[in-house]
Amino acid sequence: MDRVLWMDQGTKAASRSRGRKSNLLLFALPTLFLIVSSLFFVWSRIKVIQLGYEVSNALKEGRVLVEANKKLRLEIATLKSYTRIERFATEELGMSKPKPDQVIVIR
């Protein structure tokens, strides 16, 4: 009789512990899901901010490069100027303008 009574109590205790485990599992899974989804949300926001900074820096660098390109084109145009080349040839290289009989026109 004691033995049967003891087994009945054991099965009640086991069912109680299983009930507690299932309650704990029912609480832990949504909580874990909430934590993981919150971490993912925060991570994605941080990534968006980082990418925004990268885009901003790239645009700034692009504007600097466009400005440098404009300056270089202006310098090229200045260096190709016929008046500058003529002045350089006469002053620095000691050249003179050709006489009309020295010019040969090629067509």
Q: For residue 92, what is the DSSP state?
A: T
The pLDDT > 90 percentage for the chain reads: 67
Residue 88 CA to residue 77 CA, distance in Å, equals 15
pLDDT in tens, 26-48: 888 999 999 999 999 999 999 99
Residue 34 CA to residue 3 CA, distance in Å, equals 46
What torsion do the CA atoms of 61, 64, 69, 74 make, to the nearest 10 degrees? 180
Number of domains in the chain: 1
pLDDT in tens, 56-80: 999 999 999 999 999 999 999 999 9
In a domain, 46, yes or no: yes
Backbone phi, psi, residue 99, to 5°: -80, 155
In a domain, 17, yes or no: yes
pTM greater than 0.75 (yes/no): no
Mean pLDDT of 91-105: 91
In a domain, 107, yes or no: no
- Locate 18 and state its tokens: 């299983």
**Domain housing 26:** 2-102
Is the pLDDT confidence value at 1 over 60? Answer: no
